[in-house]
Amino acid sequence: MNKDDLISKVASSVGVSKSEASKSVDAVFSSITNSLKGGTEVRLVGFGTFLITNRAATTGRNPRTGESIQIPAKKVPKFRAGKSLKETVN
């Protein structure tokens, strides 16, 4: 399922136009993104948790030349599925 499919499903299940559903879906994604950007995790009870983790700097190797390169530390978004979602999938 892609974003357009999601918008179509939201529009049909709620009974609104696709443009209204698109605004709603975009607002949800924007809110999650802005919360993560600000360092706050997003907990959706029964669905899961979006959070930011820190990935440490590491030394990698260029496969073409064999040269060692330094990979910098960075923040990475993660998602942990909630109990209800895990049970539904299994």
One digit per residue, the tens of pLDDT, for the chain of length 90 reads 999 999 999 999 999 999 999 999 999 999 999 999 999 999 999 899 999 999 999 999 999 999 999 999 999 999 999 999 999 999
| Total domains in the fold of the chain | 1
Please report, for the domain that includes residue 69, its CATH number: 4.10.520.10
- In which element (H, E) is residue 44 found? strand 42-44
pTM of the model: 0.79
Range of the domain at 40: 3-89
As a whole number of angstroms, the distance between CA 29 and CA 23 comes to 10
